[in-house]
Structure 1
């Protein structure tokens, strides 16, 4: 069987491949262990017409092993092509041309994806369209780009543990993720988008480096440390987040932090809120600065990093429909497209504000050497929040009136202020501590 043959060859030369094919993984996870008679190499692949997906860490593939592997695969009757990352959609500075996959074909097709380690300590793989000759190469195997679904976009994975399983009917063990359900979940959300270094270079050439002052360098370093700590805490709580507002603008425009922003902004879906967030952040040296709104309406948390004085804002996002506000105010309006929105509260007046975004999904990127999420359609997100002049730096910004997507959203009744407008003053405590020192 073709799948068995590739696994045998890889094990023979000491290059064990990881089985990532969701069809096979789901079948193994559901059926293993089962009687020998019910599971065979053919059974694992008999009901799929798509190419089987495998992977291997690129750092394990040296020239000797690569040649031995590809030669042996050819000897046993497979046709082979190699896809390269020659023309990526967003080139990375100083990145060499990398192989991104080996594709084999005998009776069935097998795609061996190459995982490359990134600075953020995660695995990345390229997409089929980064090889300008991919369609011609694939046609020699009777395939097209749409058949190689696992390479339809760049992907990113946290490094995961693998285990070896000896399946009935297989002479060699196969290597699979140790937590199959978790991997299959991550596979569906693995879409990666590279920061546009060409856009960042153009911005720097026109407006100068974002880190040309000592203050800019200091803030960028502190912001990176704060974002890294927030990532560790939220990942530990299994709370998905993305970089939002000014932090997302800096990423999209400059591939960097905006030095005069003075804070770090994060977006979280309200449905992912967990009550452990506040105590977890406080325990790691971040004092709660304010707590606005409530879970079902305009929740916003702000923390102050005790060590640096840099602020971290957590904005919670809600699903809605265009035209909701007009209907709430008694004006006739049909519900329109799905939207996402987050709220804002003015502490001294109780006024509420609403920031509306086109509905979006999340993708991965690498920012400040961290694997973090961004809205997949980042430009649409930026345009909503900053308008068509987003590429021009400005020094003044009023959160209540400057964003083009902001609108009034009523007021909190004064009777509710003790619950929905909670303001703390950690700066005073920091000042007292520094004065004592």
Structure 2
């Protein structure tokens, strides 16, 4: 009898709790709150900027949608636009964090001014000296007076290689502009501006920052995997090996500078990619550096600009529309650029030299060039210069398999899926 009484009480309490949830859900899904009044976006941002302590870190607008509107409104001379007309439910700001300093005093100040604050903590992926740190990575704010819009503050940290980094957030939301994946950006300046009467900071130049957003995805090298590999296969620490690695890094930086100048998208490929994946470094016994790019991004000024930069042309293999490959020499280290093509059957291919002036096409498992993104990663001594198409980052891809080399013997003029996937011997 006593157990039945307790069960009745539990059922009543559950019903009351469900009723309260239903009332809250009805209220928050109403049109009044579900579709934010544009003026509230401006009010929330204004309230935030009024209470933020910039001495603890300059808060800057980095929301791509609003920054794009701002750039357009500035050109058109709009008096009210970026905030006044915004219908966003979540507006993104950024702040440069310091791994050694806590943002707790800032949060305490925000709470005292009627902001609800929720933050997430992540382990910083690098040691600072001999110390590891846990850092605030993402902060979500809500003005208690106006439930929408919310504010997402992305906390960026400078990595040892000299670029800005933010972590991936664990909470999925269709309203997020950043945080689905970790991101990496070149360091940028901030400029003061006024948007719809609100004084704030934005990245400078804003157009360059917006251009970098679509290709900001950052993939951390698996240091545990690298340590296991290097434990089983101790690295070559001879002066010759160290010399090659130093020259290879210099060549990567030189090649990147020229390709960026020409607006040619590229990624690390072949043995250079294998070195990143397998040991988070450049393979010491290699004698070249490998880049890949889509043939549609080829610029006829490439050879000229490479030679101007001190990288003379060594070899040209194939033709631009079939098995095209360029090699440039930098002292005793060579840069090979492989051009990826799409055949008439929709499959992707890359040209390969077989020696003795013979070339072939090898089928490659890559997304279509209009769908692919490049992702950013770093090697020791380089500042986020290494890009790779997403499919190549997978350990299941043939470029990362061990001891499964197949011979490529397809005739030069054919496209077809009969050849084996390319891979590399250990």
Aligned partner (choices 382, 390, 402) of residue 376 of structure 1: 390
**Alignment root-mean-square deviation, CA:** 2.7
Matches within 5 A, 1:27-426: 27-32=69-74, 34=77, 36=79, 38-39=80-81, 41=83, 43-45=84-86, 47-49=87-89, 51-59=90-98, 62-63=101-102, 66-86=103-123, 92=126, 95-106=132-143, 107=147, 108-129=149-170, 145=173, 147-170=175-198, 173-208=199-234, 210-306=235-331, 309-320=332-343, 335=345, 338-346=346-354, 348=356, 350-360=357-367, 361=372, 362-368=374-380, 369-371=382-384, 372-380=386-394, 383-385=397-399, 387=401, 389=403, 402-403=405-406, 406-410=408-412
State the SS of the aligned residue for 1:409.
coil
State the SS of the aligned residue for 1:113.
strand
For 1:432, the equivalent position in structure 2 comes to none
Q: CA deviation at 1:148?
A: 3.6
For 2:23, the equivalent position in structure 1 comes to none
Q: CA deviation at 1:294?
A: 2.4
State the SS of the aligned residue for 1:378.
helix
Q: Distance in 2 between matches of 1:74 and 1:40?
A: 26
Q: Name the count of aligned residue pairs.
A: 357
Structure-2 change in CA distance of 1:409 and 1:120 (3 Å): farther
Structure-2 change in CA distance of 1:75 and 1:244 (3 Å): same
Cα offsets for 1:290-336 (capped at 9, x unmatched): 11122222221111113xx111111111123xxx5xxxxxxxxxx4x
Q: CA deviation at 1:9?
A: 2.3
CA contact (8 A) 1:40 1:169 kept: no
TM-score (norm 1): 0.74
CA contact (8 A) 2:115 2:141 kept: yes
Q: Distance in 1 between matches of 2:99 and 2:200?
A: 17
CA contact (8 A) 1:387 1:403 kept: no
Q: CA deviation at 1:200?
A: 0.3
Q: CA deviation at 1:203?
A: 0.1
Find out whether 1:4 has 2:34 as its counterpart.
no
Structure-2 change in CA distance of 1:295 and 1:410 (3 Å): closer
Q: Distance in 1 between matches of 2:61 and 2:317?
A: 47
Q: CA deviation at 1:267?
A: 0.9
CA contact (8 A) 2:49 2:200 kept: yes
User: Which residues of structure 2 form unaligned runs of 5+?
Assistant: 1-42, 415-426
Q: Distance in 2 between matches of 1:340 and 1:190?
A: 24
Q: CA deviation at 1:158?
A: 1.5
Q: CA deviation at 1:344?
A: 2.0
Q: Distance in 2 between matches of 1:194 and 1:177?
A: 25
Structure-2 change in CA distance of 1:411 and 1:174 (3 Å): same
Cα offsets for 1:28-79 (capped at 9, x unmatched): 122236464x3485x253x112x2111011149944xx34422221112111
Q: CA deviation at 1:255?
A: 0.6
| 378-387 vs 113-122, greater mean Cα deviation | 378-387
Structure-2 change in CA distance of 1:81 and 1:407 (3 Å): farther
Structure-2 change in CA distance of 1:409 and 1:164 (3 Å): farther
Q: Distance in 2 between matches of 1:281 and 1:121?
A: 25
Q: Distance in 1 between matches of 2:295 and 2:395?
A: 18
Cα offsets for 1:161-200 (capped at 9, x unmatched): 3322123432xx1212234343223212211101110110
State the SS of the aligned residue for 1:105.
strand
